[in-house]
Amino acid sequence: MRRSHREWSLTCSKRAYSDQSLLKSQSGFTLLELLITMVLIGVITTLAMPAMKSVTRRSENQEIAAMLTHQLNLARDQATRRNRAYQVVISDFNAAIPLGLMAVNEANSNTCQSVIDHPDQLRLLDARPFGRSVLPDIESSIRPFVGLSGWQRGEEGWQNTPLELCINPKGGLFIQSGATFTELIGHLAIGVQQFFGDPLRPLGPPLQVELTFSAGARVKR
C-alpha cells in the first residue's frame, strides 16, 4: 500500500530528529570543556612539579654517594694490588652550597708515613670535583646540585676541614693527625648533600658514606 504524502513527511521528520540526536550524542568536547581540562592539567602539573624535582634530586644524591663509595673502594683495591700506600684527600666541604673536591695519590712505598715524609714523591692518580667545584683541565661534576657537606668520626661533631686519609696495602684505613697517620677507630662518615631551589637550600638530611678501618666504604641507609 502506498503511503500518503503526510505519512511520508512524518516518517522523514522522525528520522531526521533521530539522526540529530545521534550526532549530538557522538559529538566531541565543547570549547569550554577543553579550556577547563587544560586549566586543570596546568594546576595539577604546577602542584606536582616540586615533588617531581625532589624525587629527581634524591636520585642524584644517591648517584653521587654511590660514585664516592666506588672511588674510595677502588683506591683501596689498587693499594692492595700495587703494594703501595694510597693517600685520599677530600676537601672543600660546605653545608650551605654544593662543593667538594677529592684527590687520590699513590705513594712511592707501602707505608702511610711515606705520604708525610715524601709529599713531593706522591703521584696524582685521580682528581674529582663535586657540586659546583672546578679543577683545571678536569671535567666538572655531572650533578652540580649535589656536594659534600662535611665529615664525622664516631660521635664527634661534623667538621668541614680537609680530610686526609691513607690506605695501606693490607686495606687498612688511617687518618692523618698532625705529622702522623693513626688507625681509624670506629666509623668515619662523609656527608653527601643535595640542594634545591633559588636561593639554594639543603633538601633533606645528607646521605652518609661510611668507612671503617678494614671494611671499605658503603652508603649508610
Taking the C-alpha atoms of residue 48 and residue 21, their distance in angstroms, rounded to an integer, is 41
Helix, strand, coil percentages (3-state) for the chain, rounded to 5, are: 35, 30, 35
Rounded to two decimals, the pTM is: 0.75
Mind listing the domains of the chain with CATH numbers? Answer: 57-220 (3.55.40)
Please answer whether residues 151 and 90 qualify as being in contact, where contact means their C-beta atoms are separated by less than 8 angstroms.
Answer: yes
Q: Of residues 206 and 31, which shows the higher confidence score?
A: 206
CA dist list (Å): 180 to 34, 61, 149, 202:
73, 33, 25, 35
- Reference 159, options 149, 168, 167; nearest CA is 149
- pLDDT band at residue 198 under the 50/70/90 scheme: confident
pLDDT for 120-157, tens place per residue? 999 999 999 999 999 999 999 999 999 999 999 988 89
Assigned C-alpha cell, 168: 695501606
Neighbours of 121 (CB within 10 A): 13
- pLDDT band at residue 1 under the 50/70/90 scheme: very low
Taking the C-alpha atoms of residue 143 and residue 128, their distance in angstroms, rounded to an integer, is 12
Name the CA radius of gyration of the chain, rounded: 33
Question: Given this model, what pLDDT does residue 32 score?
Answer: 77
